[in-house]
Amino acid sequence: MTRAPIILLPVLLLVLLGGALDDPHDSVATQPLMSSPRFAAVNVYIDPGGEPLAAYQFELTGQGAEVKLVGVEGGEHQAFADAPYYDPKANLRNRIIVAAFNTGENLPHRQTRVATVMVEVTGPVRWLASLDVAAAPDAKHTDAAISVSEGAVQ
């Protein structure tokens, strides 16, 4: 009986260690869910204002809800139809960076949907997008506007 603490003490400490090593971000997932999850498609548009858009990079943030990134699809214009660069492991609740470029000559000049971010959302969410890079073929920054709209998953 007196030997039991010898075995139980390290076991108890290892259990505590397991709890202490949990990623603090994981605890978010254990919070009570306010509503059932739903899938959503977040359409991101860039308007280059008449200039040809050769490269873009934006940050998308989902605020106020539990958001899981499912995937990112390309846009409607041929120049950006392929899936853009993004980090599949990005935590969308923090932010995700999406970027793409095209070295060709057939580039969009007007507002175009450059990407669609597929997400799983639990609860009401507010989408924030900021345009980090919008460049013309000469690799110079251009004045462009970004907008976001949430659509249904098709």
Chain positions contacting another protein, by CB under 8 A: 3, 6-7, 9-10, 13-14, 16-17, 20-21, 23-25, 54-57, 59, 85-87, 89-91, 94-101, 103, 132-133, 135, 137, 139
Q: Least distance (Å) from another protein to the CB of residue 61?
A: 10
Strand bridging mode 96-101 / 85-86: antiparallel
Task: Report the C-alpha gap between 124 and 135 in whole angstroms.
Answer: 33
Q: Least distance (Å) from another protein to the CB of residue 10?
A: 4
Judged by phi (left if over 0) then psi (alpha if -120 to 50, else beta), residue 66 lies in beta
Q: Least distance (Å) from another protein to the CB of residue 62?
A: 13
Contact 134, 80 (CB under 8 A): no
Q: Least distance (Å) from another protein to the CB of residue 32?
A: 21
Q: Contacts by 16-19 with C-beta closer than 8 Å and gap 24+?
A: none
Nearer to another protein, 20 or 152 (CB): 20
Task: Report the C-alpha gap between 33 and 119 in whole angstroms.
Answer: 16
Nearer to another protein, 5 or 124 (CB): 5
Nearer to another protein, 41 or 133 (CB): 133
